[in-house]
């Protein structure tokens, strides 16, 4: 009885698989390989841009990036000004743009930063990888930064943080500002406005939250939670943690290691200490439930 029931069920599954799942797999893999798409969802409006369509736009330009963050050297790209793709969109007040990559990396970027076109400041471009001239592999990775990668030019491009150069970008969407969205990230509200832990929180949100959660708060699970079950300041020395954030390979290495660390021009020793100060502060503010 139970055996025959299982058989019918399996038959049903096979039928279902070939009727629905197989064509979907086939279709979706075709779509992905034929023309990758960037999704945008801001203030209730959605837009989609395909790679081929982007490369045919009249505003596509050849953009030289003297010190490209993902490649660690000068690069040149076919790119579209990001402001042109976001024109007419109105994110609600107190929101940021979450830039989500194929691997789940999720950076929080101010809309005004992404839409600036004044070359005296920093200008964001969507670099698009052409099929016929693929980009090189990223250092110590098996893939390139494509199909879509946010790069920066302009006089203050150097002020853009290393984690604000999302590669393998898949989607841009508006979201409430991080601390409003995830109160569990916040410092003790009694701290004065100038308390260094507040600066540490801001740095953590820009540089660490794209890959890590803390107290379960955050959009990405690329790396482990940094307060649950234990906070790294509770099992690493301060010097060891500092060395790990600067260059994880100086502490331990293995082939599948993913975190790259931060060069001194990406984060100063003082900035790393501010983040360690924030982590120490948060160890006493652990929330075991979301």
Residues forming the site for ligand HEC (CB under 6 A) = 105, 163, 207-208, 210-212, 222-224, 226, 232, 244-245, 248, 257-259, 275
Q: How far apart are CA 72 and CA 128, in angstroms?
A: 18
Calculate ∠ Cα 134-70-28, nearest 5°: 50
Paired tokens of 62: 């050849």
Report the residue number, 90 or 250, with the smaller CB distance to ligand HEC.
250
Q: How far apart are CA 241 and CA 257, in angstroms?
A: 16
Q: How far apart are CA 235 and CA 238, in angstroms?
A: 9
Q: How far is the CB of 253 from ligand HEC (least distance, A)?
A: 9
Report the residue number, 55 or 102, with the smaller CB distance to ligand HEC.
102
Dihedral (CA of 100, 101, 102, 104) sign: negative
The long-range contacts involving 34-38, CB below 8 angstroms and separated by at least 24 positions, are 36/147, 36/148, 38/85, 38/126, 38/148, 38/169, 38/170, 38/171, 38/172
Q: How far is the CB of 76 from ligand HEC (least distance, A)?
A: 24
Asked if residue 251 lies in contact with residue 240, where contact means CB atoms within 8 angstroms, the answer is: yes
Residues 6+ positions from 93 with CB-CB distance below 8 Å: none
Report the residue number, 68 or 91, with the smaller CB distance to ligand HEC.
68
Report the residue number, 121 or 280, with the smaller CB distance to ligand HEC.
280
Report the residue number, 99 or 244, with the smaller CB distance to ligand HEC.
244
Q: How far is the CB of 118 from ligand HEC (least distance, A)?
A: 28
Report the residue number, 81 or 166, with the smaller CB distance to ligand HEC.
166
Paired tokens of 69: 């963050």
Q: How far is the CB of 200 from ligand HEC (least distance, A)?
A: 10
Tokens 């893939």 correspond to 143
Q: How far is the CB of 223 from ligand HEC (least distance, A)?
A: 3
Q: How far apart are CA 276 and CA 252, in angstroms?
A: 19
Report the residue number, 105 or 152, with the smaller CB distance to ligand HEC.
105
Paired tokens of 66: 């003297």
């Amino acid at each position: 009885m139970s055996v025959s029931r299982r058989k019918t069920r399996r038959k049903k599954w096979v039928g279902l698989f070939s009727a629905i799942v197989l064509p979907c797999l086939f279709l979706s893999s075709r779509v992905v390989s034929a023309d990758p798409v960037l999704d945008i969802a801001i203030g209730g409006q959605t837009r989609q841009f395909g790679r081929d369509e982007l490369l045919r736009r009249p505003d596509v330009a050849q953009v030289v990036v003297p010190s490209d963050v993902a490649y660690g050297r000068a690069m040149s790209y076919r790119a579209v000004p990001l402001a042109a793709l976001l024109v007419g969109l109105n994110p609600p007040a107190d929101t940021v743009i979450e830039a989500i990559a194929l691997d789940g990396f999720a950076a929080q970027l101010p809309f005004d930063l992404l839409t600036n076109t004044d070359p005296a400041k920093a200008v964001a471009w969507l670099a698009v990888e052409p099929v016929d001239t693929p980009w090189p592999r990223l250092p110590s990775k098996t893939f390139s930064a494509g199909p879509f990668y946010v790069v920066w030019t302009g006089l203050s491009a150097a002020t853009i943080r290393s984690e604000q150069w999302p590669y393998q970008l898949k989607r841009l969407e508006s979201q409430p500002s991080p601390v409003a969205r995830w109160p569990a990230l916040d410092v003790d509200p009694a701290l004065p406005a100038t308390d260094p832990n507040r600066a540490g929180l801001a740095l953590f949100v820009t540089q660490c939250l794209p890959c890590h959660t803390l107290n379960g708060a955050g959009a990405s699970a690329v790396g482990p939670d940094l307060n649950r079950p234990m906070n790294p300041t509770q099992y690493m020395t301060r010097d060891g943690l500092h060395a790990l954030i600067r260059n994880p390979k100086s502490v331990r290495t293995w082939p599948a290691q993913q975190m790259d660390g931060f060069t001194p021009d990406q984060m100063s020793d003082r900035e790393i200490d501010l983040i360690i100060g924030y982590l120490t502060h948060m160890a006493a503010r652990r929330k075991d439930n979301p």
